[in-house]
Chain A
C-alpha cells in the first residue's frame, strides 16, 4: 500500500506544479518510486488489502504503461489524472474483500469520469456523458447486488463467500453484470463503442487500455473462488458471453469508417477474449492466459490510442481516409501504429500472439475444441479490419484532406516504451510464466 500513498500524494501535490515538463518529470519519478516500492515489497498492512507476486508484477506493468502515458501527455490536468488513476488501479488490484473491491472500483470509475470530462467539443461531451450514465447504471446494479448478497448475512469485510445461497448468487451475478458494463461485455457494450470513439483518444487510451485490464485482473482474483465453486453453472454463461462479445466486436469493427471506432470495437472484442479464462478456470493455463492477455493488451491498446491522439491532435473524428499515406509522411509513427495493430491481430513475435495462444490453449485444455476453433477464427477474421487500416497507412498515396499532425519526440519515446513491451512479451514468454506457474 505504500506505493499507493506515494502515488496519491504526488497526484495531489502535482496540482501545485506549473509547467508541463516539470510535471512530467515529477509524475515520472513518482511512478518510478512507486514501482521500486512494489519491487522491494514494502507493504503497509491495511485490512482488506493485500498483494502477491502476480499482482505486483502486473502493477509494475501498469506503472510502465502510465510512464508512457505521462510522457505522451501534453496537458497538466491529464498528467495529474493519470497519477490518480494509477493510484486507484493499485487500490483495486490489491483489494481483497468485496467491500474494498467495490469501493476501489468506484474510485477508479469516478476518477475516469473526471478524466473524460476535460472536454474540447460537443462530440467529446457526448462521449463523456454516455460513459457517465452507463457508469451510473453500473454502480446502481453493483449496489443492488451488494444488498442482495448481504441479505444472506455474508460479511462484506471478507473475501467472497464460497457458500452463497440463492440470493447471494443472484447478488454476485448482478454485481458481475454491473462490472461487465466497465468491461464492455455484449450486451453491456453499447456505450463503449461510442464513448471510446468520441472522447479524446488519449483518454480512451487510459480507459480502454489501462482501466479495463485492471478491472478484469482484479475481477478475476476476487471472483474466481465464486465462479469456481459452481463452475458447471457459471462456465457456460461466461463462454457464451465471451464468444458473443468477441464475435460482435469483430463483426461490427469491419463496418467502421473512423479509426477510433474500429479500435473501440476491437477493444470490445478483446474484452470477449479476456472473459474466456473465467469459463475455463479448471485449466491451469487460465490465470496465465488472462494475465498474459492483460499485459499484451495494455501495451498495444494504450499505444494505439495514444498515437492516434498525437496523429489527430486530440481530435476523435479521425477517419480512415485521413490516414491515407501516413507511411510516406511519418515513417516511424506509421511503423509503431502498424506493429501494434499486428499485435492486436495476433501476429507472432508480438505480445498479442502468445497471449491469445495461451488463452486458446486453456480452452483446448478443458476439451472445448469447437470453442477454441471459434475463437481462433474470430481472431483470424479480425485481421480483415486491421489489415484494412494498414492498407490506408501503407498502400495508398497521401490524400487531399490530410490533417495528420507530426508526432513530437516525447510521444515517440512513449511509443518506443510501449513497443518494447509488446516485443518483449512477444518473445520472452517465460517472464510471465515464471510469475504464474
Chain B
C-alpha cells in the first residue's frame, strides 16, 4: 500500500499545494519533506530487495479482459533509478529555493515526483506508459511558465516531439500484447513474439527520442536552454535517464536477440551523438547550450555502453548515467546562475568570474573537469569503464571514443578560459554575484558526490553489478 502512496500521494498533494499554500513559502518545505520521505522509502526498498529478480509491491485495479493492471514491482535497476531520482529531487528543491510563484512551481515538482516514481515502479506496460506520459505534463508547464524568452516554442516542441515518439512505444506495447497476450514486462519471452523486429524498432525509436540519440535530439537543446536551471537538472538528470532506463530494460534485456542483431545501430547513433554533440558544444558560445550539447554527448557514451550489451558495459552505462546526472546538473545550475546575474548567455560577455565569485566558479570548474573525464571524478570512472568494455566487445577501433573525450576537454577548457578565467569583462565587473546559502548547499552536495564516487566508486558498482547478475545477456557475457 505504501508503494501506491509513493505514486499517488504526490499527485493528490500537488493539488493541495497549488490551491492551499498560495505562495506563502510553505510549498518548498512540503516538497522537501515529501522528497525526503521518498528517499527514505527508496532506501528501505533497497534494503528489502532480494538478491536477484523482482520484488512485488502490490497489484491494483485489475482489468482481466485487457490485462490492464497496476503492478508495482521493483528490481535493483529500478531502485537505483528511484534513489537517483529522489536525491536529485531534493537537490532540485534546494536549488529552486528562491523561485518565483512557488505554490504552482512546487506543486508541479511534486506531481512530477509521483509520475516518475510510477515509471520506475510499474511493470505493466500500460501503466508504465501512463506514468511515462504523465511526466510530460509538469515538464510542459515548468518549461512553459518559468522558462526564458523562447519558452513557449520550447515547451510545445518538447511536448509534441516526445509525445509523438511515445506513440511508437504504445504501438509496440499493443503489438506485444497482441502477440503474447500479456502486458507484464517481466513475462515477455522474445521467442513468443511474431514480429520482434518491428517491435524492437518501434521501441528503439520511441526511447531514442527521450534519451536522446542523434538525430532525434533536436528537442533537447531548446528545452534545456529555455527551462529554468533547476528544471534543466530534472530534464538531464531524470527525464533522459528514463529514456536510458527504458532502453536497457526493454530494448536490451527484453529483446536480447533483436538487440544483438541491431546493436550496431545503437553503437553508430551513440558515436554520432558523442561526436556531433561534442562538435556542436565546441562551436557554441551560448553557455547553457554548450552544457546541453555536452549532456547529449555524454548520453551518447551511455548508448555506446548499452550497445555493447555485456555485463561490464551495462554496469558502466548505469554508472555513467548516475555520473552524468551529478556532473551535468551543477553545470546547468551554475550556467543558469551566471545568466541570472549577468543577464547574458553569451560567453563573450563573461570572463573573469572567478575573481568575483570564486566558490561557485570552483564548482563549475570541478564539474567541468568531471565532464571531461579527469581522474578522481565520476566522469573518469564512467568513461574508462565504458571505453574498456566496449573495446572488448567491438574491437580496438572504438578507441575513437577518446576523440569524444578530447572534444569535451577542448570545449570545456575553452569555456573555462572564456567564462571563469581571463580578463574580467565590463559586464562581470558591474555584476554582483551572490548566491543564497541553500542554493550553494545543493551545489556543494553535487561537488562532494562527484569527487566521492570518483575516488571511491566501489559502493556504486556494488549496487550496479547486482543489477545485471540475474540476466543472461548476449555479447561478451
Residues on the A chain within 8 Å of B141, using CB: 394
A207 within 8 A of B: no
Q: Which residues of B contact A357 (CB under 8 A)?
A: 126, 170
Set A354, A365, A395, A430: member contacting B145, Cβ < 8 A: A395
| B160 CB to nearest chain A CB (Å) | 6
A428-B66 Cα distance, complex, nearest whole Å: 13
CA distance A390 to B175 in the complex (A): 33
B151 beta carbon closer than 8 Å to chain A: yes
With contact pairs A357-B170, A361-B174, A383-B159 given, residues A395 and B152 touching in the complex (Cβ less than 8 Å): yes
- The number of chain B residues touching the other chain, given as a range, is 35 or more
Q: Which of B31-39, B128-136, B284-292 binds A?
A: B128-136
A380 in contact with B63 (CB, 8 Å): no
* Contact segment of A219-227, A230-238, A369-377, A405-413: A369-377
Q: How far is the CA of A89 from the CA of B167 in the complex (A)?
A: 35
A387 within 8 A of B: yes
By the criterion CB–CB under 8 Å, are B171 and A364 in contact? yes
In the bound complex, how far is the Cα of B68 from the Cα of A353, in angstroms?
13
Instruction: Render B84-102 as a binary contact track against A, CB cut-off 8 A, 1 for contact.
Output: 0000000000000000000
Contact (Cβ within 8 A) B160 A384: yes
Q: Give the distance in Å from the alpha carbon of A387 to the alpha carbon of B154 in the complex.
A: 12
User: Is A12 positioned at the interface, with any CB of B under 8 Å from its CB?
Assistant: no
Among the 9-residue stretches A36-44, A144-152, A341-349, the one with 4 or more Cβ atoms under 8 Å from chain B is A341-349
Cβ of A122 < 8 Å from any Cβ of B?
A: no
With an 8 A cutoff between CB atoms, is A379 at the interface?
yes
What string of 1s and 0s marks CB contacts (under 8 Å) between A73-99 and chain B?
000000000000000000000000000
> Roughly how many angstroms separate A429 CA and B60 CA in the complex, as a whole number?
12
Specify which of A288, A347, A348, A369 lies most central, judged by the most chain B CB atoms within 10 Å of its CB.
A348
Cα distance A357–B198 when bound, in Å?
Answer: 19
Who on chain A is nearest to B101 by CB?
Answer: A328
Interface centre among A383, A395, A428 (most CB of B within 10 A): A395
B340: chain A residues at CB < 8 Å are none
**Alpha-carbon gap, A285 to B66, bound state (A):** 9
Give the chain A neighbours of B62 by CB distance below 8 A.
Answer: 430
Taking CB atoms, residues of chain B closer than 8 Å to A383 are: 159-160, 163
Q: How many chain A residues have a CB neighbour from B under 8 Å?
A: 39
List the A side residues contacting B168 at CB < 8 Å: 373
Mask: chain B, 438-465; 1 = CB below 8 Å from A; 0 = not: 0000000000000000000000000000
Binary contact readout A349-371 vs B (1 if CB under 8 angstroms, 0 otherwise): 10001100110110011010100
In angstroms, how far is the closest chain A Cβ from the Cβ of B75? 23
Contact A369 B175 (CB under 8 A): yes
- Contact across chains for A395 and B167 when beta carbons are under 8 A apart: no
Q: With contacts A348-B133, A384-B156, A430-B63 known, is A373 near B144, CB below 8 A?
A: no
In the bound assembly, the distance between CA atoms of A90 and B354 in angstroms comes to: 76
A354 CB to nearest B CB, Å: 8
Assess whether A395 is in contact with B151, with CB atoms less than 8 Å apart. Answer: yes
Q: Is B265 an interface residue (CB 8 A)?
A: no
CA gap between A224 and B123 in the complex, in Å: 37
Beyond A342-B137, A429-B68, is A388–B156 a contact (Cβ under 8 Å)? Answer: yes
Q: Which residues of A contact B166 (CB under 8 A)?
A: 380
Q: A348-B133, A364-B175 are in contact. Are A376 and B160 (CB under 8 A)?
A: no
Q: Does B140 belong to the interface (CB within 8 Å)? A: yes
Across the interface, name the chain B residue whose C-beta is closest to A362.
B174
| Interface residues in B406-445 (C-beta closer than 8 Å to A) | none
Q: Is B65 an interface residue when CB atoms closer than 8 A count as contact?
A: yes
Cβ A348 vs Cβ B65 within 8 A: no
State whether B171 touches A387 (Cβ < 8 A): no
Question: For the complex, what is the distance from the CA of A428 to the CA of B68, rounded to whole Å?
Answer: 10
Roughly how many angstroms separate A185 CA and B168 CA in the complex, as a whole number? 27
The answer, yes or no, to whether A427 is at the interface (CB within 8 Å) is: yes
Is the C-beta of B155 less than 8 angstroms from some C-beta in chain A?
Answer: yes
A373 contacts B167, C-beta separation under 8 Å: yes
- In Å, the complex CA distance between A390 and B138 comes to 13
Q: Chain A contacts of B66 at CB under 8 A?
A: 285, 358, 361, 429, 433
Asked whether any CB of chain A lies closer than 8 Å to the CB of B400, the reply is: no
B68 — which chain A residues lie within 8 A by C-beta? 354, 429
Q: Decide: B156 and A387 in contact? CB cutoff 8 A.
A: yes
Cα A331 to Cα B103 with chains together (Å) = 12
Closest to A377 in B: B167
Find out whether the CB atom of A348 lies under 8 angstroms from the CB atom of B134: yes
Asked if A329 is at the interface of the complex by the 8 Å CB criterion, the answer is: no
Q: In the bound complex, how far is the Cα of B163 from the Cα of A377, in angstroms? A: 9
Cβ of B444 to closest chain A Cβ, rounded Å: 34
Contact A380 B160, CB 8 Å, known A373-B171, A394-B144: yes
A154 at the interface (CB under 8 A from B): no
Instruction: Pick from A347, A372, A376, A384: contact of B137, CB below 8 A.
Output: A347
Which one, A360, A376, A387, contacts B159 given CB within 8 A? A387
Are B178's CB and A364's CB within 8 A? yes
Residue in chain A with minimal CB distance to B162: A380
Q: Which B residues lie within 8 Å of A430 (CB)?
A: 61-63
CA distance A348 to B131 in the complex (A): 7
Contact between chains at A360 and B174 (CB < 8 Å): yes
Not counting A364-B178, A394-B141, a sample of 6 additional A-B residue pairs whose C-beta atoms are within 8 angstroms of each other reads A348-B131, A357-B126, A361-B178, A380-B164, A381-B164, A430-B61
Residues of B within 8 A of A (CB): 18-19, 61-66, 68, 126, 129-131, 133-134, 136-137, 140-141, 144-145, 151-152, 155-156, 159-160, 163-164, 166-168, 170-171, 174-175, 177-178, 198
Give me the interface of A with B, judged by CB distance under 8 Å: 285, 288, 331-332, 342, 347-349, 353-354, 357-358, 360-361, 364-365, 367, 369, 372-373, 376-377, 379-381, 383-384, 387-388, 390-391, 394-395, 427-430, 433, 437
**8 residue pairs, one from A and one from B, having the closest CB atoms:** A348-B130, A376-B167, A437-B65, A364-B174, A380-B164, A430-B63, A348-B133, A380-B167
A-B contact pairs, 28 of them (CB 8 A): A285-B66, A347-B133, A347-B137, A348-B129, A348-B131, A349-B134, A353-B130, A361-B174, A361-B178, A364-B178, A365-B178, A372-B174, A376-B171, A377-B167, A380-B160, A383-B159, A383-B160, A387-B140, A387-B156, A387-B160, A391-B144, A394-B144, A395-B151, A395-B152, A429-B61, A429-B66, A430-B62, A433-B65
